[in-house]
Structure 1
Amino acid sequence: MFYHLMAQINPELIMETFTVRDLRERTGELIRGAEEGRLSVVTKHGTPVFIAVPFDETLLREGVATALAVRLFDEEHVSLGKAAKMAGLSVGQMTDLLAGYGIPVIRTTREELEQSLADFG
């Protein structure tokens, strides 16, 4: 299921892309990006081969699939439901996990908040 969900995401739109050939010349960039918490995808002949996931607390505690799901949700690339499926969790479990990392599940823009307040007034 994880791979099926990942196939629905265009990694080039949300991650820095490196070709296998780039790795020789741009390894430093890949490492700096990981240190800054950015995901990267490595491709071969235009096909994704692997994703470089930053080595952080989430990865250590939760594993690769969950760390990737948390990061993609936090960066607003996937919905809560999709992130939960990627992590193999229920939506409630995913909500609890995100709360544990201080990641808000409901994100309201300033304009949405102002409109909601105006609707009550």
Structure 2
Amino acid sequence: MHMFGIRDLRERSGELTKAAESGHLCVFTKRDRPFMVGIPFSETLLKEGVHTNLATHLYEQGILSPAKAARLAQCSLEEFIQKLGHLGITLIDYDTEELDEELSNLG
């Protein structure tokens, strides 16, 4: 997530544009206090709406847990997990060592 002050809207518009094009959320501050969130325009935003789009971004960045993201998306955890699946976003992200360890614990 990128942070920009209100003055940065004018002075750093190129960085803001690059952040949005890269799919990053931006938080805008005024007197060092957050006052606005910039959400990149995407197909997910069009299809799912602002709540789901914001929840998905914050979940992908590790800021929200699946349960908290589901609440933000205004749906049940099960529905949110299904939305993640439809968007191709994995719910469980193990590295190779963690996966091997989990699999060895099963047997």
What band does the TM-score fall into relative to the shorter chain?
Answer: over 0.9
Q: CA separation in 2, counterparts of 1:57 and 1:47?
A: 30
Once the two structures are TM-superposed, the CA of residue 64 in structure 1 deviates from its matched residue by 1.2
- Specify the alignment match of 1:71 in structure 2: 57
- Specify the alignment match of 1:10 in structure 2: none
- Specify the alignment match of 2:13 in structure 1: 27
- Specify the alignment match of 1:4 in structure 2: none
TM-score, structure 2 length as denominator?
Answer: 0.93
Residue identity (%): 44
Determine if the alignment matches structure 1 residue 90 to structure 2 residue 90.
Answer: no
One-letter amino acid of the counterpart of residue 64, structure 2: V
- What's the C-alpha RMSD, in Å, of the aligned pairs? 1.2
TM-score, structure 1 length as denominator?
Answer: 0.83
- Specify the alignment match of 2:89 in structure 1: 103
Deviation track 1:78-115 (CA, whole Å, cap 9, x = no partner) reads 11000000000000100111110011112222221111
Q: CA separation in 1, counterparts of 2:8 and 2:66?
A: 33
Determine if the alignment matches structure 1 residue 44 to structure 2 residue 30.
Answer: yes
**Ranges in structure 1 where 5+ consecutive residues have no aligned partner:** 1-14
Q: CA separation in 2, counterparts of 1:116 and 1:22?
A: 46
- Displaced runs of 4+ in structure 1, greater than 2 A? 117-121
User: What SS does structure 1 have at the residue aligned with 2:12?
Assistant: helix
Deviation track 1:22-47 (CA, whole Å, cap 9, x = no partner) reads 11110111111101101111100011
**Ranges in structure 2 where 5+ consecutive residues have no aligned partner:** none
Task: Count matched residues.
Answer: 107
Higher relative contact order, structure no. (Cα contacts within 8 Å, ≥ 6 residues apart): 1
Once the two structures are TM-superposed, the CA of residue 120 in structure 1 deviates from its matched residue by 4.0
